[in-house]
């Protein structure tokens, strides 16, 4: 079971920012955490992950430094910039508003 459902467009950036907000992580670990925390519901292919990270970095929402991982490899650790933090807050609120609205619609009964 637990079919991998594709993420709606735009959602990936939000999730990435959220994970990064919890503390500096490198790309590979971001994908792993999203998968674990969501119990396999959210799965991020690398062909989506890295372009998204670069996108966020170009927009000035993330910044990165090369550091050594626990396993002794070099990896690019991302952190949220100030703008990124503001963006995360805004998008989280927006997401809540939207999903609530959609939830209402999906629960409509024919009783017009």
- Nearest 5°: phi and psi at 70? -55, -35
Nearer to its own copies, 39 or 82 (CB): 39
Nearer to its own copies, 22 or 47 (CB): 22
Q: How far is the CB of 44 from DNA (least distance, A)?
A: 6
28 binding DNA? (CB under 7 A): yes
Least Cα distance to 64 among 54, 74, 79 occurs for 79
Nearer to its own copies, 3 or 71 (CB): 3
23 binding DNA? (CB under 7 A): no
Six token digits for residue 83: 């703008």
In this structure, are residues 51 and 73 in contact, taking their beta carbons and an 8 Å threshold? no
What single-letter DSSP state applies at residue 60? Answer: T
Least Cα distance to 75 among 42, 37, 28, 15 occurs for 28
For residues 23 and 50, give the distance between their C-alpha atoms in angstroms, rounded to a whole number: 18
Q: Stretches 33-41, 71-79, 90-98, 103-111: which one binds DNA (CB under 7 A)?
A: 71-79
37 binding its own copies? (CB under 8 A): yes
69 binding its own copies? (CB under 8 A): no
Six token digits for residue 72: 């002794």
* Residues binding DNA (CB under 7 A): 6-13, 26-29, 32, 44-48, 50-55, 69-73, 75-76
């Amino acid at each position: 079971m637990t079919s991998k459902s594709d993420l709606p467009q735009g959602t990936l950036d939000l999730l990435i920012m959220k994970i990064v907000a919890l503390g500096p992580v490198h790309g590979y670990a971001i994908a792993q955490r999203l998968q674990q925390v969501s119990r396999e519901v959210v799965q991020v292919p690398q062909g989506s992950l890295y372009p998204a990270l670069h996108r966020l970095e170009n927009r000035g929402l993330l910044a990165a430094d090369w550091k050594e991982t626990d396993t002794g490899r070099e990896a690019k650790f991302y952190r949220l910039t100030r703008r990124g933090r503001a963006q995360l807050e805004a998008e989280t609120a927006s997401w809540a508003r939207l999903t609530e609205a959609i939830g209402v619609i999906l629960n409509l009964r024919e009783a017009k």
